[in-house]
Chain A
Amino acid sequence: MEHGASSYRRFLNGDESAMDEIMAELFFPLVFFINRYVQDVPAAEDLALDAMTELFVHKHRYNFKVSLKTYVFMLGKSRALNYLKHRKSLRETELDAGKELAEEDELERHALDSDRKRAVNAALAKLPEDMRMAVHLIFFEELSYEEAAKVMKKNRKQVDNLLYRAKKELRAILGEEGAQLL
């Protein structure tokens, strides 16, 4: 239930320095998570900035019943899906493929702190979206099954099933050694 909740309480009490702490703890994971949907790092950054701004502007929408991270990821997911819905009309210029890859590498470097996670991340691209999200939230963001289910708007059993099937897929991709990474 932590993940920045106490910092957010301080922010609500007028301590604006708490914003820095919340940003430091949640921003890059959020960009990384949103990028799973949008596959566009600048767009993911912008959407994450928007989600974080919303968190600070609408001060009393967060009710502390879920962790702050879960709430922020829910905001991020909602923005990412909206973005995808309108992507065709929003996307005016093709991104430079080389630049995009460099940005993703840098984002990965910010968000993932171990080679083990990077190895799994590389294999995740080959999984269907639901499995990818379940692994991302449980494995990378270390959310509980319940929290991941809230973000994905699924129940715990569905998340459990997705993870089970994701492990089987990763075993096929990475071999027995890869599956043990999870």
Chain B
Amino acid sequence: MKEIKDYTEEVRRRYEVRSQTRRQHRLQTLTLCLPLVLCILAGALVLPPLLACTKDRATKTTEDHRFSQPDAVQNQTDQTGKTEDSLKSEGDAVDGIEPPADFSFAFVWDCYGISSYDSASGRLVKTSHATHPEDYLTTLNLTAEQREQVWLWLSALELETFPAEYDPYNLPDEKPTVFSKPNRNLVLTLRQNGKEITVACRGICLDGCGEGYDARARAFLQVCDQLTDLLTHTPEWESLPDYEFYYE
């Protein structure tokens, strides 16, 4: 058996070795953790602005998409047939979005004779099929909010992508399978930035034949319905006399 000083030396040696090992382990842990901590800190600093930026961009993209995709109009329809967009726009109509100065539109639809409206002249015709058609004629000047609303609807449709002659119920280049007798006409004209685009639906199925063969067709029909609704729920329209002739 050794003397106590030998054991003390041995304890001292072990103490030095273990202390050094502990220091090394601490250093290794720090070396491993430091980059991790720096990454977390950097993430905490960089991520919030980055996320905010991404969110802004996403919002902008959504806005752009709204105006470039006709399908965007195909949002959920409420009981009155108005789209979510239109409902929203009625509330806080189109903040910061102005239609071009030369924007105007014309809409012709059949309902017991030909009805039409041209926002350029304000001419509103309830029907052309009457003994005295002049009794069914008035002037309607839409409010700025209403103009902007219509412009939004038409912009979202991208009328320039539709053919000049269009049937929203039947696929192009195929024999029509959805039709009715009597039938109806819809003619939609958009004028802005010096250009005029007209899409005419002639002899198409009456309202109630369906929703259209695809999303674009449904959007088109929906905009037509919204325009009809807007124009026929004005005091000017309501002041005109009842139809003289009805479908037989």
Contact = CB atoms under 8 A, between A and B. Distances in A.
A45 B11 CA distance: 11
A23 B11 contact: yes
A24 B4 contact: yes
Nearest to B7: A27
Interface in A90-126: 103, 106-107, 110
B25 interface: no
Contacts of B11: 19, 23, 27, 49, 52-53, 56
A106 B10 contact: no
Most interface-central of A45, A52, A107 (chain B CB within 10 A): A52
Contacts of B18: 53, 57
A50 interface: yes
Interface residues of A, number: 19
Interface in B1-15: 1, 4-5, 7-8, 10-12, 14-15
Nearest to A56: B15
A57 B8 contact: no
Contacts of B24: none
A45 to B, nearest CB: 7
A28 interface: yes
Most interface-central of B8, B11, B18 (chain A CB within 10 A): B11
Interface string A47-86: 0111011001100000000000000000000000000000
A130 interface: no
A48 B18 CA distance: 16
Contacts, number: 41
A52 B8 CA distance: 9
Interface residues of B, number: 13
A15 interface: no
Contact of A110 (B1, B8, B22): B1
B15 A49 contact: no
B1 A107 contact: yes
B4 A27 contact: yes
A34 interface: no
A41 interface: yes
B4 A57 contact: no
A50 B15 CA distance: 9
B77 interface: no
A20 interface: yes
B19 interface: yes
A28 B15 contact: no
Contacts of A19: 8, 11-12, 15
B1 A23 contact: no
A152 B216 CA distance: 86
Contacts of A48: 7
A119 B4 CA distance: 25
A28 B14 contact: no
Contacts of A27: 4, 7-8, 11
Nearest to A20: B8
B144 to A, nearest CB: 78
A103 B12 CA distance: 23
B148 to A, nearest CB: 75
Nearest to B1: A106
A42 to B, nearest CB: 9
A56 B1 CA distance: 23
A57 B19 contact: yes
A50 B4 contact: no
Interface string B1-44: 10011011011101100110010000000000000000000000
Contacts of A41: 1
A27 B10 CA distance: 12
A52 B10 CA distance: 10
Contacts of A23: 4, 7-8, 11
12 contacts: A19-B8, A19-B11, A23-B7, A23-B8, A24-B4, A45-B1, A45-B7, A48-B7, A49-B10, A49-B14, A57-B18, A57-B19
When A and B form their complex, which 5 residue pairs have the shortest distance between CB atoms, in order from nearest?
A53-B14, A106-B1, A23-B8, A56-B15, A57-B18
